[in-house]
Amino acid sequence: SLLLHNFLFPSTNSKPNMLKCFLCAVLVAAVFAGLCPEQTTVNPFNVVAYQGQWYEIAEARIPRDTFEFNLYCSGANYTFVESDGIVLVNNTGHVGSPEGELSEADGKAKQTDPDTNPGALAVTFSGSFPNSPNYYVLDTDYVTYTMVGGPCKEYLWILSRTPQMDDATYNMLVNEATNTFGYDLDRIGFRHDNTTGCTVLPPA
């Protein structure tokens, strides 16, 4: 991660501004989710295999310019809580540089239609879940890569189990995003992150 346009840029690296920017982007995503058709996701989807640490490799303009603004080496850690049927979400990134202060945001997710569209999830960082999914697992092999879409195809992420991804896998996913899922990568400002200096995070 969501994905998800240019608004509320923080004027400093302070956590309150980053949080304000993040919450506004989540609100926009929730509005988008209610107006846009759902997207087809991986089916079947193994939420247990999907949990764990993912490192961001590429993302669209909206997350990059809002809740990921000035963050380096961003990633997400997912923990499935079987008793509640929810996924705990811990998003991280380093402020200003790969060696900068670690910024974190905690939330939760749940599948919205586990029977027919199991890779569609509603993610929230504010307590209450949106009525529509805002996180679509478009493709994953669980052990190497995942590609996640967002509402209205305005948000897109490619993530890896390691801080870097080989070119063949990345190019395969970019081609799939365009030709299989209909994402306009130029329009949404999709680009590869500079992952130089990003390292494996210690276990939580």
Q: What is this structure's pTM? A: 0.83
pLDDT at 186 over 60: yes
Lowest mean pLDDT among 27-36, 121-130, 184-193: 27-36
Query: CA 59, CA 107: separation in Å to the nearest integer?
Result: 20
Q: Residue 95 corresponds to which tokens in the numbers above?
A: 């402020």
Between 64 and 37, the more confident residue is: 64
Partner residues linked to 94 by β-bridges:
72, 102
pLDDT of residue 37: 76
Element (H, E) at 192: strand 191-192
Taking alpha carbons only, the member of 131, 87, 140 closest to residue 112 is: 131
Length, in residues, of the chain: 204
Distances (CA, A) of 5 to 15, 25, 28, 33: 21, 9, 9, 15
Beta strands in 50-149 (DSSP E): 52-59, 71-81, 86-95, 102-111, 120-124, 135-140, 145-149
pLDDT at 201 over 90: no
Domains delineated in the chain: 15-138+158-192 (2.40.128.20)
Q: What is the pLDDT of residues 7-21, one digit of tens each?
A: 222 323 334 344 444
The mean pLDDT value for 163-192 works out to 97
Return the ∠ at Cα 200 (arms to 198 and 204), rounded to 5°: 130
Distances (CA, A) of 48 to 21, 81, 85, 144: 31, 9, 11, 15
pLDDT at 54 over 80: yes
